Structure 1
Amino acid sequence: MSKKKNKNMYKNLVFITQVGLSIIAPILLGVYLGDLLDKKLNKDMIFKLIFILIGAGAGFLNLFKLIDKK
């Protein structure tokens, strides 16, 4: 393989990793914060669900921003 091909392959690998992390990180943060609030306020799972949805929205917004950059 040529150096240019390797560089392209690594660039694509980094981009795919960045996409995955930018989607999953807000969702996991939403799970954590929602669980924290649910325990503090003695609720079942309402805040966890709300924050998971907010995290998913933020994750997809990050995805659109990344794709727009590239």
Structure 2
Amino acid sequence: MEAERRVSLLFPRSWQLVSVYVPASAVDYVKERNMQYWLSLYERDAEQALQIGERLGFVVPPKTASS
């Protein structure tokens, strides 16, 4: 039996985060999908995306001043 790990799963329609257990082999897949959904949200509503990103552990680099 494969070990399970607890991860946060981001639902793209409601933008809710739910903690779920997934097989260890699926953790990277879930993280990648979360990032794709999160980037989609960031394009629509940056403020909400930043709040969710904090809970997911995503870091947004500060914007650099253009010369």
Instruction: With a CA cutoff of 8 Å and minimum separation of 6, indicate the structure with the bigger relative contact order.
Output: 1
TM-score (norm 1): 0.36
Query: Which structure dedicates a bigger proportion of its chain to strand?
Result: 2
Looking at CA atoms only, which structure, 1 or 2, has the larger radius of gyration? 1
Query: Which structure dedicates a bigger proportion of its chain to helix?
Result: 1
